[in-house]
Structure 1
Amino acid sequence: MKKIYILLGSLFLITACSTDLEQAPPNFASADSLTDFNGVLNAAYFYQLGAVTPMAVMGEFRSDNALMDEDPYTDFDVFNSNLPSQSDQFFGPFYTALYKSILSANNVIENSENAIQVGEAKFLRALSYFKLVMVFGDVTVNLSPTPSLTDTSILVRQPASDVYNNVIIPDLMDAMATLNATIVDGRASKYAAQGLLGKVYMHMGDYVSAEPHLAAVVNGAASAGIMLEENFSEVVGAANEVGNTEIIFSTQILSSITDEYSPASRFWNWYVGDDSKADDPVDPDLIAAFDANPGDLRKDVTLDASNSYVKAVKFPKEGGLGSEHDWIELRLADVILLYAEALNENGTPAATVLPLLDDIRERAGLTSLTGTAITQAEVRQVIADERRLELAFEGHRWFDLVRTGTVNAEMGQTINSDYYVFPIPVSEVLATGGVITQNSGY
C-alpha cells in the first residue's frame, strides 16, 4: 500500500482563527477558479493525521487496556470533571484537525465535477463526523466550504442521532455507490465506505441495518484483494504496510510530515512506554485477558514482558520505522468480528456465528469457539473478548465498551454516563461565547 504524498507545504502554516470551523488551507485558489481538486482532497486526507494520536489515547487509556502514570494525565484513568485539563494536549488538536478535514471535503463535494473525488470526500467527511460523535456526542455540523463568519447559530451542537442520520449515513451511502471496490494507493474505496457504514450502524445499536453491509464486505472483499493476513505479526508494523491485504483503510503517516498533533502523530510513543507519562502503559487487566488464552500468538506480538507489567510493542519502533506507522482505521478482522456480533444480536444461532471467528483464532494459534458458547449472552461475551485481544491498541476498546453498554461491567466500577464522552475543547466553548456548549459533567 503506497503512501499518499501530500505536496501542500502551505498547509503547515495554518494559524488559529476564532473557531476551528473558520479555518481553511491558505493559498488555495478560490473554488470558482479551480478545475482540479486533487490538492483540496489531499488536504482532507492530510488533516486526518492530527486525529490519530488523540484517538489512540482516548480509545485505550480511557479503557481497561492502558494506564497513565503521571499527573495530570492520570485524569484518563479516573472519571470526574478534571479531564478538560487535557484539552490542549488531546481534544483540541483532534477537534481542529477533523473540522479542517471536513472543510476541505466540503469544498470538493460542492465544487468538483469528478465523481470519484466527491465520493472520497464524502467518505472522509463521514469518517470525520463519526469520530467527532464517538468522542463528543452532539457536535457542530458544517456542510459548507464557506461557512458564515457572523452567523453563530451554525455553531450550535446538533444531536448525535441527527449527525448520524443526516450526514454520516447519507455520505457513506453516496461514497459506497460511487467508489471502486479495489483499494488504490491507500485511498477510500467502496468496501471502506460499506465497512464503515456497518460499523456506524453498530455504534447506533441498529444491528439489523448493520448486518447486510458487514456481510457484503466479509463476503465480497476477496474479489477486491482484501483478505486476512496469514500471520498476525504481518498485520501491523510499518514494514508490513506495503502489500498488506487486510487493511481496508488507514490514515497514512510519514515522519517527514508534521500535523496538528506534532511531531508526526507518534501515537506509538504512548504505547511503548517511551513517554514518562506512561512508563508501563499496559493495564494488568489486559495481561490477564491474554493469559486466560494460553498459546495466543497475539500476546507476543502485542506485548513485551517486563517484570509484572508489559509494554506494548505491537507497533515496533526499531529500524527507524516507529514514525512511519500508519493508523489502521478499518481492517478485515474488525469487520468480521462486527459481522459476527450483528448476527448474534439479530438472533442467529451460535453454531452459525462462531465459525466466522475460526480463521482469526486459527492464525492466533487458538482453537474454534464453536460449541463453547451457546446462548446469545455467551456468544456476545466471547466476541467481545476476541475483539479486545485482536484489536488491542488500535483505538477501539473504550468505544466498544460504550457502544455495547458494558463500561461498568468491564471497568469494575460504576461510572457516570456523562463521562462516556469527552469534553469539548475549552478553547471552542470560550471562543464562541458559550454557543458551543460543554458536555455535562465537565
Structure 2
Amino acid sequence: MINKIKFKVICMAVAGLSLTACEDKLDIEPRGSISPEAVTPSDTEVLLNGVYDGFQGGASSYQYLAFLTDDLSADNLAYRATFFQHGEVDDNAIAANNLLIQFYWQGLYQGIYRANFFLQTVEPLDESTFSRPERKQEVIAEARFLRAYGYYNLVTRWGGVPILREPTSDKVARNSEEEVWNFIIEDLTFAVENAGEFRSAAYASKAAAKALLARVYLATKNYAEAERLAEELIADSNFQLSDNYDNIFTNKGNAEHIFQLNSTPNDGTSMSYFLIANVVLPSTGQQTNGGRFELPIDNSLAAAFEAGDERKNTTLQPITFGGRDYNMAYKYRQSADGADAWPVARIAEMYLISAEARAEQNDLEGALERLNQVREMRGLEATDAASLAELRLKIEQERRVELAVEGHRWYDLIRTGRAIEVLPNVTDENQLKYPIPQAEIVVNDLLEPNPGY
C-alpha cells in the first residue's frame, strides 16, 4: 500500500532512542533499529514520542500539507507562486500524479504505520511492569487517538480508504467511507475510556479524544452525541475561551488548547515557512522571520471579518510583497524557525460544535447562546437568527473566521453540502474528494481511483 514501507523494526525509535536516522522518510529502510522483542515498558514512552512525531511531520517532509490543504482547497488560502502542485489544490483541479498530495497520503499512512507498530509491540507487555498498571492502557489509548486522527484526515480528503489495524506491507483494498468513520469512532471511544486525564495540550488525553469524537459525530450527523461531548468539555475547568485571541497562537499553554501538535526549531513543520513573507510589517514596523510566502490569505477571507472582530489582526496582516498587496496568514509566525504548534482541537470549536448540534436538534435558543458566547469573547455583539436556515449560515460564518487556517473550512463546506454553492471553481461532485495518488495505484492494483480521476 505504501511504496517500500518495510518496518522490520520501529523507525520511530530513532528520534527517541538516538539511533541512526532513517535516510529517507518515504522509502523507509532503517539502518538503526530496536527489535520489538527487546522493547520493555520503560521504552514505551520514547516509542510513543515517535508516533507523535509521525503526525506532526516526522513521517514526511511534506506533512505540512496535512495542515494547509483544507484551507487551500477552500477559500481561506490562495496560491501565489512556485509550486504548481499548490495551484492545483487551490484550483480544485488536482492531478492524480500531484506529488504533494502523494506525500500527504504517504505521510498519513506512515504515521498510522507507526501507531500500529507501537500497538503491536506494546499490547503483549505485562501491565504490572509499567510505572503504573493503568499506564499500559493509557499509552495504547494515545496511539489509537493518533491513529484516529490520521484516518480523520484521510476520510475527509479521500473518502473510503484502506483500514489497517496492524503493520503490513501487503496490498489492501479500500474500505467504504462508512467503515472508516466507524473505525475512527471505535478508536476514539477506546481513547475516551482509557486515555489519561488532561495534563497538557501536547499529549492525547480523554479530553482530546472527546473533542475529536465530538467533531466526528457532528460530521456523521449524530448531533445528540456531538452536543453531549462538546458540553462536557465546555464544563471542564481545564479549558476556557480566551479573552486574548492572539495569545492562543503565541502561547502554547493557552487554556483554549485541548490538543495540539507541538514543534521545536529542530523538528519544525515547514508549514509556516510557506505562509510567512520576509517583510517589515506595516502594522508593527517589525521584520518577520519569513519564508517563501507561497500561500497568502484568500481575499474573500479577509473580507469575511466584521468590523471590530479581534480575530482579524491575528489571522492576517496586510503586506506589500514584490510590488503587490497581499494579506499574509499570521497565526503561525515562527516560519524559518518552525516552532509553531498546530491546534488540532480548541475549546472555541466545542462551543461551535454545540451550537451546530443544538441547531440541528431544533434548539435554536441554545445554539445562539453558544454562538454568541464565542462572538462576544472576540469583541462582537450578539447575533440573532429568525430560522434554522439563517442560523446555519451564521454558524458557518463563525466557524470560518474563528478556525481560519486551522484545517476546517474545506470539509465544513463538504459536510454541509455547501461546497459547490460557495466555491466558484468547484462545479462537480467528483472534485469533493482528492485523487488517490497514481503512485499508490501503480504499486497496489487493489486500489480503486476516486470517480473523475
TM-score, normalised with respect to structure 2: 0.82
- The answer to which structure has the higher helix fraction is 1
Task: Report SS of the residue matched to 1:41.
Answer: helix
Give runs of aligned pairs for residues 138-157 of structure 1, distance below 5 A: 138-145=160-167, 147=168, 149=169, 151-152=170-171, 155-157=172-174
Equivalence for 1:327 = 342
Q: Is the 8 A contact 2:54 2:114 kept in 1?
A: yes
Decide whether the 8 Å contact of 1:282 with 1:311 is kept in 2.
Answer: yes
Match in the other structure for 1:260:
none
Task: Give 3-state SS (helix, strand or coil) of 1:139's partner.
Answer: coil
Distance apart, 1:178 and its partner CA: 1.3
In structure 1, the partner of 2:382 is: 368
**Aligned residue among 425, 431, 438 for 2:437:** 425
- CA-CA distance at 1:422 after TM superposition: 1.5
The one of 185, 191, 200 aligned to 1:169: 185
Partner AA of 1:187 in structure 2: Y
Q: Deviations over 1:157-208 (max 9, x none)?
A: 111211221x211111111111233224721111111111110111223223
After superposition, where does 1:102-117 map in structure 2 within 5 Å?
Answer: 102-107=115-120, 110-112=123-125, 113=127, 114-117=136-139
In structure 1, what is the Cα distance between the partners aligned to 2:142 and 2:112?
Answer: 16
Distance in 2, matches of 1:25 and 1:190, equals 36
* 1:352 and 2:366 matched: yes
Q: How many residues align?
A: 408
Residues 353-362 or 170-179, more deviating: 353-362
Distance in 2 between the 1:75 and 1:299 partners?
27
- Higher relative contact order structure (alpha carbons within 8 Å, sequence separation ≥ 6): 1
Counterpart in the other structure of 1:305:
318
Equivalent pair of 2:157/2:433 in contact (CA under 8 Å): yes
**1:15 CA drift (Å):** 4.4
Alignment partner of 1:7 is 2:16: yes
Q: 1:217 to 1:11 in 2, by over 3 A?
A: farther
What CA deviation, in whole Å up to 9, does each residue of 1:185-237 have, x standing for no partner? 72111111111111011122322332212222222x21xx2112221011113
Unaligned segments of structure 2, at least 5 residues: 1-13, 128-135, 278-289
| Separation in structure 2 between the aligned mates of residue 211 and residue 87 of structure 1, nearest angstrom | 36
Question: Which range is displaced more, 116-125 or 188-197?
Answer: 116-125
Tell me the distance in 1 between the aligned counterparts of 2:85 and 2:206.
42
Aligned-pair CA distance for 1:73: 2.6
Amino acid at match of 1:156: A
Match for residue 39 of structure 1? 46
Listed as ranges, the matches of 1:373-384 within 5 Å are: 373-384=385-396
Q: Determine whether 1:244 maps to 2:254.
A: yes
- Could you tell me which residue of structure 1 aligns to residue 92 of structure 2? 79
Which residue of the partner structure matches residue 157 of structure 2?
A: 135
Structure 1 counterpart SS, 2:258? strand
Give the Å deviation of 1:138. 1.2
Structure 1 vs Structure 2 CA RMSD: 2.7
CA drift at 1:298: 0.8
Please tell me whether residue 62 in structure 1 is matched to residue 73 in structure 2.
yes
Quickly say closer, same or farther: Cα 1:17–1:228, change in 2 above 3 A.
Answer: closer
Shift of 1:85: 2.0
TM-score, normalised by the number of residues in structure 1: 0.84
Distance 1:15 1:312, change over 3 A: closer
1:269 aligns with 2:297: no
Unaligned regions of 5+ residues in structure 1, if any? 258-263
Instruction: Give yes or no for contact 2:148–2:184 (8 Å, CA) kept in 1.
Output: yes
CA distance in 1, matches of 2:101, 2:93: 18
Tell me the residue number matched to 2:397: 385
Correspondence 1:385-424 to 2 at 5 A: 385-412=397-424, 414-424=426-436
Same amino acid, percent of matched pairs: 27
- C-alpha separation between the residues in 1 aligned to 2:312 and 2:121? 43
Aligned equivalents of 2:193, 2:140: Cα separation in 1: 11
Partner deviation per Cα, 1:62-111 (whole Å, 9 max, x = no partner): 11111112334311122335263234674345334433333334335633
1:314 matched to 2:347? no
Change over 3 Å in CA distance of 1:254–1:38 after alignment to 2: same
Distance change >3 Å, CA 92–CA 174, structure 1 → 2: closer
What SS class does the counterpart of residue 158 from structure 1 fall into? coil
Aligned 8 A contact 2:273 2:338 in 1: no
Q: Distance in 1 between matches of 2:385 and 2:156?
A: 30
Q: What's the offset of the Cα at 1:332? A: 0.5
- Is the 8 Å Cα contact of residues 115 and 144 (structure 2) preserved in structure 1? no
**Match in the other structure for 1:261:** none
Provide closer, same or farther for how the CA distance between residues 83 and 427 of structure 1 changes in structure 2, counting only shifts above 3 A: closer
For residues 128 and 82 of structure 1, the distance between their equivalents in structure 2, rounded to whole angstroms, comes to 22
> Counterpart of 1:248 in structure 2: which amino acid?
I
Secondary structure at the aligned position of 2:249 is classed as coil
Deviation at 1:14, TM superposition (A): 5.3
Cα distance in structure 2, aligned partners of 1:413 and 1:398: 13
SS in 2 for 1:311: strand
Structure 1 window deviating more from structure 2 (210-219 vs 324-333): it is 210-219
SS at match of 2:189: helix
- 1:337 is aligned with what amino acid? L
Whole-Å separation in 2 of the counterparts to 1:304 and 1:99: 36
Residue 135 (structure 2) pairs with residue 125 (structure 1)? no
1:205 is paired with a residue of what secondary structure?
coil
